[in-house]
């Protein structure tokens, strides 16, 4: 079948036969690599216009594993057109199908490696792949666009009739619109690396990108958020569930730093996929204001830990008046039992210190008594000086005066 079927219907008597023949001949010369290069060019142009609100740090058109940077924030990898997905290509049981299409296999490679090195941030990868059944129509549209582009640019050197360039540009514009529509209709498979638990192998969950928007990234983002595969907001209760569940071993020591926790979220594919670090930071900061039932659903924060004293520095419990100004890598997420234990110890030490201070004041030397008045009845400076030295106005120790009085 002709790659440009509408051209084949032209009769020899048609005044535009030469124009059509030139376009047809050029279309037949186009190889797969040239067609795919044009698709990649259009994808890259399309992805450069993505907005941050779609939930992705960046959007990349990817062929090799080295083409996707190894960063902590979630990225969308739009696959090269040679990596097609066919939902019929699965193995396993009906209850647990395993996709084995080129797109699914490449998704696993992207998750595992960055070039020749193991990928660190494996939980920051999601993939958008082209559909194997729609791809031929996209390729045909691209072939037609390139053919009319060639004729429009080369009408005069090709010796085509007057007005051929204008007619070719009109066909090129129509083909261009068709290619844009076909891109949206072809790139709709969202492939997500998933893992049931620490012991399970990494698999691929396949979703269908939906939405009325003309942005591929926005469609993928909407689908991922709706399916819970891309988290753009999370509260302290959800973080606590993770700490009590899949992260319980990491939290067993009594605390974990924000930096360590973020590394775990970005690297372990059995954890929720947080879009970026700000999601985690906001969840931790909100914990101090969430006082209700916090010992069972929340946690405390600390600035650091003194190993020598086995004590947390800058400990803050939910309900404290001074929440942290900001959380940083060294901020510690502290287990409630450890935080409460230290708070009780700190309060007991503070109360003991206060009692010692009061007891010290109670045992201070009494204020020296006022001196006796001199015979003239005047309280003289000399008498006051004598009293400051513990003597009366006659120069006798005040103790002697008290004994003589007895």
Question: pLDDT value at position 16?
Answer: 63
Q: Within a domain: residue 10?
A: yes
Can you tell me the distance from the alpha carbon of 88 to that of 368, in angstroms, rounded to the nearest whole number? 102
Q: Which two tokens stand for residue 203?
A: 């698999």
Closest Cα partner for 76 from 173, 193, 166, 226? 193
Among the ranges given (24-33, 82-91, 139-148), the one the predictor scored with the smallest mean pLDDT: 82-91
Q: Is 50 exceeded by the pLDDT of residue 404?
A: no
Q: Kindly state the helix (H) or strand (E) to which residue 53 belongs, with its residue range.
A: none
Q: Are residues 284 and 399 in the same domain?
A: no
Contact 121, 202 (CB under 8 A): no
Query: Residue 287: how many CB atoms within 10 A of its CB?
Result: 26
Q: Are residues 375 and 295 in the same domain?
A: no
**pTM given for the model:** 0.79
Task: Tell me if residue 120 falls in helix, strand or coil.
Answer: coil
Can you tell me the distance from the alpha carbon of 341 to that of 344, in angstroms, rounded to the nearest whole number? 5
Taking residues 14-18, what's their average pLDDT? 64
Query: CA 375: distance to chain centroid?
Result: 90
Read off φ and ψ for residue 76, nearest 5 degrees: -105, 120
Can you tell me the distance from the alpha carbon of 55 to that of 73, in angstroms, rounded to the nearest whole number? 10
Q: Are residues 341 and 382 in the same domain?
A: no
Q: Is 70 exceeded by the pLDDT of residue 109?
A: yes
Partners of residue 79 on adjacent β-strands: 62
Q: Within a domain: residue 231?
A: no
Taking residues 325-334, what's their average pLDDT? 90
Question: pLDDT value at position 210?
Answer: 83
If you average pLDDT over each of 45-49, 125-129, 150-154, 353-357, which comes out highest? 125-129
Q: Is 70 exceeded by the pLDDT of residue 332?
A: yes
Q: Within a domain: residue 363?
A: no
Q: Are residues 66 and 191 in the same domain?
A: yes
* DSSP codes of every residue in 258-325: HHHHHHHHHH-TTS--BSSHHHHHHHHHHHTT--TTHHHH--EEESEEETTTTEEES-B-TT-S---S
Q: Are residues 246 and 334 in the same domain?
A: yes
Q: How do strand 304-306 and strand 311-313 relate by DSSP bridges? A: antiparallel
Q: Of 205, 226, 247, which marks where a domain is finished?
A: 226
Domain count, the chain: 3
Q: Within a domain: residue 348?
A: yes
Read off φ and ψ for residue 23, nearest 5 degrees: -65, -40
Q: What is the pLDDT of residues 379-389, one digit of tens each?
A: 555 555 565 55
Q: Within a domain: residue 364?
A: no
Q: Are residues 154 and 261 in the same domain?
A: no
If pLDDT is split at 50, 70 and 90, which confidence band does 49 have? Answer: confident
User: Crossing angle of helices 135-154/32-47, nearest 10°?
Assistant: 100
Higher pLDDT, 367 or 70: 70
Q: Is 70 exceeded by the pLDDT of residue 313?
A: yes
As a 3-state breakdown, the chain gives helix, strand, coil percent values, each rounded to 5, of 45, 15, 40
Higher pLDDT, 198 or 53: 198
User: Crossing angle of helices 277-287/258-267, nearest 10°?
Assistant: 140
The residues, ordered by sequence, that sit 6+ positions from 266 with a Cβ below 8 Å of its Cβ are: 72, 120, 121, 122, 123, 124, 274
Query: Which residue range is the domain that position 104 belongs to?
Result: 5-226
Q: Are residues 157 and 284 in the same domain?
A: no
If pLDDT is split at 50, 70 and 90, which confidence band does 403 have? Answer: very low
Name the percent of the chain lying above pLDDT 90: 59
Q: Which two tokens stand for residue 146?
A: 């390139």
If pLDDT is split at 50, 70 and 90, which confidence band does 396 have? Answer: low
Q: Is 50 exceeded by the pLDDT of residue 3?
A: no
If pLDDT is split at 50, 70 and 90, which confidence band does 150 have? Answer: confident
Can you tell me the distance from the alpha carbon of 184 to that of 304, in angstroms, rounded to the nearest whole number? 50
Q: Are residues 14 and 152 in the same domain?
A: yes
Q: Of 183, 208, 226, which marks where a domain is finished?
A: 226
Q: Within a domain: residue 219?
A: yes
Q: Is 50 exceeded by the pLDDT of residue 401?
A: no
Partners of residue 99 on adjacent β-strands: 90
Higher pLDDT, 118 or 163: 118
Q: What is the pLDDT of residues 240-290, one digit of tens each?
A: 999 999 999 999 989 999 999 999 999 999 999 999 999 999 999 989 888
If you average pLDDT over each of 18-22, 323-327, 331-335, which comes out highest? 331-335
If you average pLDDT over each of 139-148, 289-298, 313-322, 342-351, which comes out highest? 139-148
Q: Are residues 312 and 388 in the same domain?
A: no
Q: How do strand 332-334 and strand 300-302 relate by DSSP bridges? A: antiparallel
Q: What is the pLDDT of residues 181-207, one digit of tens each?
A: 999 999 999 999 999 999 999 999 999
Q: Within a domain: residue 319?
A: yes
Q: Of 226, 255, 276, which marks where a domain is finished?
A: 226
Using a 10 angstrom Cβ sphere, with 0-12 exposed, 13-18 middle and 19 or more buried, the burial of residue 323 is: middle
Question: pLDDT value at position 347?
Answer: 87
Q: Are residues 11 and 137 in the same domain?
A: yes
Q: Are residues 66 and 188 in the same domain?
A: yes
Contact 187, 101 (CB under 8 A): no
Q: Within a domain: residue 248?
A: yes
Q: Which two tokens stand for residue 95?
A: 């209850």
Q: What is the pLDDT of residues 112-134, one digit of tens each?
A: 999 999 999 999 999 999 999 99
Task: Tell me if residue 77 falls in helix, strand or coil.
Answer: strand
Partners of residue 205 on adjacent β-strands: 192
Q: Are residues 95 and 220 in the same domain?
A: yes
């Amino acid at each position: 079948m002709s790659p440009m079927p509408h051209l084949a219907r032209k009769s020899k008597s048609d005044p535009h036969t030469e124009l059509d023949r030139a376009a047809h001949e050029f279309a037949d010369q186009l190889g797969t690599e040239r067609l795919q290069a044009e698709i990649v060019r259009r994808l890259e142009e399309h992805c450069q216009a993505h907005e941050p609100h779609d939930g992705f740090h960046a959007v990349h058109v990817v062929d090799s594993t080295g083409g996707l940077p190894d960063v902590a924030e979630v990225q969308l990898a739009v696959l090269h057109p040679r990596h097609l997905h066919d939902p019929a290509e699965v193995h396993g049981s009906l209850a647990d199908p395993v996709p084995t299409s080129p797109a699914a296999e490449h998704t696993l490679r992207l998750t595992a490696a960055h070039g020749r090195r193991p990928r660190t941030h494996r939980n920051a990868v999601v993939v958008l792949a082209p559909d194997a059944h729609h791809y031929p129509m996209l390729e045909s549209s691209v072939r037609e666009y390139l053919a009319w582009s060639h004729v429009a640019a080369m009408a005069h050197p090709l010796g085509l009739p007057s007005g051929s360039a204008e007619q070719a540009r009109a066909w090129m514009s129509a083909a261009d619109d068709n290619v844009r529509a076909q891109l949206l209709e072809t790139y709709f498979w969202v492939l997500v690396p998933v893992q049931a638990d620490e012991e399970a192998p990494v698999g691929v969950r396949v979703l269908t990108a939906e939405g009325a928007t003309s942005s591929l990234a926005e469609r993928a983002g909407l689908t991922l958020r709706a399916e819970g595969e891309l988290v753009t907001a999370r509260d302290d209760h959800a973080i606590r569930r993770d700490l009590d569940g899949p992260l319980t071993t990491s939290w067993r020591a009594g605390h974990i730093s924000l930096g360590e926790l973020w590394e775990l979220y970005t690297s372990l594919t059995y954890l929720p996929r947080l879009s970026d670090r700000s999601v985690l930071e906001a969840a931790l900061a909100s914990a101090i204001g969430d006082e209700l039932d916090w010992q069972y659903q929340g946690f405390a924060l600390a600035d650091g830990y003194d190993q020598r004293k086995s004590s947390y520095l800058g400990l803050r419990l939910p309900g404290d008046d001074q929440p942290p100004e900001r959380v940083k890598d060294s901020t510690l997420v502290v287990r409630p039992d450890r935080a409460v234990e230290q708070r009780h110890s700190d309060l007991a030490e503070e109360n003991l210190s206060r009692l010692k201070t009061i007891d010290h004041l109670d045992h201070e030397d009494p204020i020296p008594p006022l001196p006796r008045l001199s015979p003239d009845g005047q309280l003289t400076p000399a008498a006051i000086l004598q009293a400051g030295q513990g003597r009366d106005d006659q120069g006798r120790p005040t103790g002697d005066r008290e004994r003589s009085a007895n």
